[in-house]
A = this chain, B = another copy of it.
Amino acid sequence: MASTSTPMLSKDDGPLAALRRFTFTTLLNEDTQTRTITLLGTYTRSPTEEGDSDDVPAILKLERQNFSHDSLPSFVNSLDKAKSLITNDVYHLFLAWSGKGEDVPADLKITLIQPATEVEIRKASKQTYKMVRETPELYQSVVLPYLQSFPPGRLSWVYNILEHKKESENIVYEDPDPNTGFIILPDLKWDQLNMSMLYLQCIVHNRNIRCLRDLTPSHLPMLKNIRKNAEAAAMKKYGVTKGDLRMFVHYQPSFYHFHVHIVNVSCHGYAGSTIGQAHLLDSIIDNLELEEADGLQSGRASYYARRTLTYGLGGQHGLYKQLWQATQTA
């Protein structure tokens, strides 16, 4: 009796043998953010004293553990195998195997940045976030001078891509039109294997749009071209279907050349898609269309130049000090 009401692991089983009584049937769910996967299967319960043995439905949830601090100093030496995925300038992306590299898929993704500048080290460090409120006036007085202070070479890696000098082998789709065209490539954050984590970057050919603030109804043809043809390209290349993609723009962006992030809609795992930092491409198009429908009022700035934009800003960001000070005193 007890054996049917209290399903038990056999006394003889070690934990490993107990787990091996699970037989996989189908994938129930996966959470790409937490690297968790949930399987449905059957579990063969061990024979009772009466000799019964039966298969029951079972759920098996697998989660990757975080890295242990002790293992860090020797981590790269403990790797069994690695494969280079992307190399562009200082950025190097690898897949790696922590063990048994011959017959199993890579269990690690590794990004190497070398040499790493002060700015990159600060960006990669743990930081406190604060919500800052950037008024149009603060954009003019703080943000614009900040982004104008960058040396011209700062965007050369972007221009290398646009000019096919780098990563041309990674181009998923290109529309070469200088005003409405763009290039789509896989994002470094994506391993290019797991479709539920699909992450693409769409970099526009127009070099005059620094960020969201610069957009006006005149950019609607470009924005609608991205919405339509980026989806079409991803459908063709990766087999996603209509409505599977969430497209958004960052503010502040990590570089000041207009680009659109394209992510699987079911993937909520990327911090960059959080409200505040992210602006949906569809909402941008809709706001600019409303503006256009209302008719341009002479001398009035465009919608995104008039907005007060609120977003979480990391304490290490070059704009943090001034914007946070202004937010506190407002």
Binding site for B on A (CB under 8 A): 6-7, 9, 14-16, 18-20, 22, 24, 27-30, 32-35, 37-40, 43, 45, 56-79, 81-84, 87, 89-90, 92, 94-96, 98-100, 104-117, 120-121, 124-126, 128-133, 191, 193-194, 196-197, 242-246, 248, 265-266, 268-269, 271, 273-276, 278-280, 282-283, 286-287, 290, 306-310, 312, 324, 327-328
Interchain CB contact under 8 A, B24 and A73: yes
- Output the residue of A32, A34, A60 with the most chain B CB within 10 A: A60
Please indicate the chain B residues that have their CB under 8 angstroms from the CB of A73 in the complex: 24
Interchain CB contact under 8 A, A120 and B59: yes
CB contact under 8 A between A75 and B62, given known A133-B282, A274-B274: yes
Q: How far is the CB of A308 from chain B (nearest CB, A)?
A: 5
Please indicate the chain B residues that have their CB under 8 angstroms from the CB of A92 in the complex: 9, 18
Interchain CB contact under 8 A, B243 and A328: yes
Please indicate the chain B residues that have their CB under 8 angstroms from the CB of A282 in the complex: 131, 133, 308, 310
Interchain CB contact under 8 A, A37 and B274: no
CB contact under 8 A between A27 and B65, given known A18-B92, A121-B40: no
Interchain CB contact under 8 A, B61 and A110: yes
Query: Can you list 28 pairs linking A and B with CB atoms under 8 Å apart?
Result: A6-B89, A9-B92, A15-B96, A18-B92, A18-B112, A19-B82, A19-B110, A28-B124, A39-B75, A60-B111, A60-B112, A61-B112, A61-B124, A62-B67, A65-B105, A68-B104, A130-B242, A130-B265, A131-B246, A132-B243, A243-B324, A246-B274, A273-B275, A274-B274, A275-B275, A275-B278, A283-B310, A290-B307
